[in-house]
Amino acid sequence: MPTHARDRLLETAERLFYTEGIRAVGVERILAESGVGRASFYRHFASKEELVLAVLRERDERWRHWLEESVTARGGEPLVVFDALAERFARGDFRGCAFINTMVETADPGSAAHRVAAEHKRRVTSYVDGLLAAAGRPDHAALAEQFILLMDGAIVTALREGTAEPAHRARSVAVALLSSPSSG
């Protein structure tokens, strides 16, 4: 457990927001589970909204770092992103994509949370684009957007079915996509 109150707040909030949803978790709950006093909370974050943004920004960094590590460890071929997803889906605490969930919970497309979530996807797309370019695909830009669509489809499907199988399903589609004449 981190020593500083701010770190404990971020850690507790990230866990609760992800597993139960942002709206579903009140400040009271975060204080109780983190052991941080009410005054300390508002000394570190101007509002719950600010905490939400801090959590999302940190998760964006960590998630992309995890993906890059996982892909590299698997050899760096574009298709292994789906193997990385499968590993993620198999975790007991898997609850979908925190950024998709945020966009769903935050109806307003102009809100800061929505923008952070959109920015996250842009960065992941950029990374996958790099993988496809490194693999020698001349159509890497278009393929990257299709890969992200497949990844997001796999994520929401895994959330619904509760298994890791959608990752393999998406991977098989990606294989067909990569071997398709119109994309080679």
Q: Can you give the binding site for a copy of itself, defined by CB under 8 A?
A: 19-21, 23-24, 95-96, 100-101, 103-105, 107, 109, 117-118, 121, 145-146, 148-154, 156-157, 159-160, 162, 166, 169-170, 172-173, 175-177, 179-183
Residue indicated by tokens 């993620």: 88
Spatial distance between the Cα atoms of 101 and 74, rounded to a whole number of angstroms: 28
Binding partner selected for residue 47 from a copy of itself, DNA, none, CB under the kind-specific 5 to 8 Å limit: DNA
Residue count of the chain: 184
Structure token pair of residue 183: 């994309």
Quick one: which of 21, 33, 48, 183 contacts DNA (CB under 7 A)? 48
Other Cβ atoms less than 10 A from the Cβ of 124: the count is 23
Pair of tokens at residue 9: 């707040």
Report if residue 112 touches DNA, rule: CB under 7 A.
no
Which of these, 65, 68, 54, lies nearest to 13 by C-alpha position? 54
The one-character DSSP state at 3 is S
Distance CA 183, CA 137 (A): 9
- Measured from the CB atom, is 40 or 153 closer to a copy of itself? 153
Given DNA, a copy of itself, none, residue 72, with its beta carbon under 5 to 8 Å by kind, binds: none
Question: C-beta of 153: minimal distance to a copy of itself in Å?
Answer: 3
CB nearer to a copy of itself: pick between 21 and 130:
21
Distance CA 53, CA 127 (A): 22
* Contact between 6 and DNA per CB under 7 A: yes
HSE of 182 in the Cβ direction (CA atoms, 13 Å)? 4
7 versus 105: smaller Cβ distance to a copy of itself:
105
If one asks whether residue 19 binds DNA (CB under 7 A), the answer comes out as no
Asked if 64 touches DNA (CB under 7 A), the answer is no
- Please give the residue ranges that form the binding site for DNA (CB under 7 A): 3-6, 8, 25-29, 35-40, 42-44, 47-49
